[in-house]
Amino acid sequence: MKCHEVDYEIFGDDMQIVEVELDPQERVIAEAGAMNYMEDGIGFETKMGDGSKPSGGILDSLMNVGKRVLTGESIFMTHFSNDGSGKKRVAFAAPYPGKIIPLDMATIGEELICQKDAFLCAAFGTSIDITFQRKLGTGFFGGEGFILQRLRGDGKAFIHVGGTVIKRELKGETLRVDTGCLAAFTTGIEYDIERAGNLKSMVFGGEGLFLATLKGHGTVYLQSLPFSRLANRVMQASSVGGAKGEGSVIGGLGDMFGDN
């Protein structure tokens, strides 16, 4: 299926919004709950799947549901369409601090592999599927487990990564990355893991036990703040010290006198 052609504009810096412009009868698909606002004339419908393929019956529907469950996402996707006349806009918001990356799938080989929660929205006709890591070790220790998302199509797609995004073009060289900082890569990139140095470095180095190894010819997108790292820091701050300000001794004294 040829994807619909959509225009877009991205607003914001750390908490970004992508505003997609739809011509009459054009459609965009998005993760459930990603919509921020939409103009009058935009209709939406919740469906199982991305709609890139004709419905194949109950068995295909159950398989699609199973795949969505494995990625940890909602089993439904929302389809937004311009049912009126003239151009209409619908906007989608990033779920946590980071950057929205606009992708012209036709120029990157019509395929992208990304972390399982990276997809935000895409032009109708884009296929959102899952792919499994072929190597057992990569699946267990590669940061994203066995499951990654695969986007296919020839239109616009938008993914979200945490923190600052770094785009690297590999031309045969090897790049070693913290496993959680790998956001997405194009076809032509071989993904594997390796130990993070010797035993001392693995235990006390603070860089984790394994690093992702990327090599080949293609594009790699890296993120400075994986959501798991952000969540861990929030949990640590909430469980140690409670409402105490960071680095504040007075905060602890305030708790003693009931200021909490």
Band (250; pLDDT cuts 50, 70, 90) = very low
Average pLDDT, the chain: 80
Kindly state the DSSP code that residue 180 receives in the 8-state scheme.
Answer: G
Residue range 7-237 forms a domain whose CATH class is alpha beta
Any idea where the domains of the chain sit in the sequence? 7-237
| Cα–Cα distance measured from residue 75 to residue 122, given in angstroms and rounded to the nearest whole number | 17
Higher pLDDT, 122 or 140: 122
Top pLDDT among 187 and 157 is at: 157
pLDDT band at 255 (very low <50, low <70, confident <90, very high): low
pLDDT in tens, 144-178: 445 788 999 999 999 999 989 999 999 999 999 88
64 falls in which pLDDT band (50, 70, 90)?
A: low
Q: Given this model, what pLDDT does residue 113 score?
A: 93
Convert the pLDDT of each residue in 132-147 to its tens digit: 665 545 555 555 445 7
- Here the tokens at position 207 are 């860089």
Eight-state DSSP code of residue 224: S
What average pLDDT score do residues 218-232 get? 83
Has residue 28 got a pLDDT over 80?
yes
Per DSSP, the three-state class of 207 is coil
Q: Which residues are bridge partners to 141 per DSSP?
A: none
| Bridge partners, residue 44, by sequence | 80
pLDDT of residue 140: 53
pLDDT at 198: 53
